[in-house]
Amino acid sequence: MTLPLDALASLLGVVAFGAVLPIVPTGAAVSAACVLAYHEEGRIITLLVILTGAAGAYLGDLVTFALARWGGVRLAHTLRWLRDPERVKPAAERLRDHDVSVLLVSRLLPGGRIPVLLAAAIAGVHSRRFVIANIPACLLWSATYAAIGLLGGAIFPKPWEGIVAALVLIVAVSQLVSWINRRRADREPSSAEAS
């Protein structure tokens, strides 16, 4: 079983599409491709998977950022936490001060990337700054999900077992982060009522 160029092109398309419309599990796609690459003879294929995943994420983020610049205010009003301009300001300040780390964390947190990209667009983060800062964020994101895939591939002798293990780990971490975010959101209204 090999990962031919058309498989890498498919990975690029899936990740780019999922970065624009977050209905596709892009991290899982990178992890699964790395499991398959791990079971091949060359390490270059694994590196190509990481670079392809990062390129897809980067292209998708560019499209998403452009869409957010175009219709950001309208989109922001549909998101509860961005309705208040005072909530956009801290996100924009963090982006200006620590753009790479904020973009990386937003990529790794389920549901975190779109609000951060919207906040960046609404706050007027310069396109050139975003274009440069998002390169290492996408590379680190792809490498993280590739590492999950490599771990699954190393533990299990069959590629499908490694893919299943990587997917289970990704879903478990995503659910844990979502649960933590829900608990935090539940505490915010009660702390506001107390004051």
Write out pLDDT tens, residues 39-84.
Answer: 775 677 888 889 999 999 999 989 988 888 877 666 666 655 555 5
SS3 126: coil
Higher pLDDT, 78 or 142: 142
Question: Does 17 score more than 90 pLDDT?
Answer: yes
Distance CA 148, CA 80 (A): 32
Model pLDDT, residue 116: 77
Indicate the number of domains in the chain. Answer: 1
Full 3-state SS string of 131-173: HHHHHHHHHHHHHHHHHHHHHHHHHCCCHHHHHHHHHHHHHHH
Model pLDDT, residue 82: 57
Output DSSP code: residue 39. T
Q: What residue numbers bound the domain in which 72 lies? A: 5-194
Model pLDDT, residue 59: 95
**Highest mean pLDDT (candidates 61-75, 89-103, 148-162):** 61-75
Question: Does 185 score more than 90 pLDDT?
Answer: no
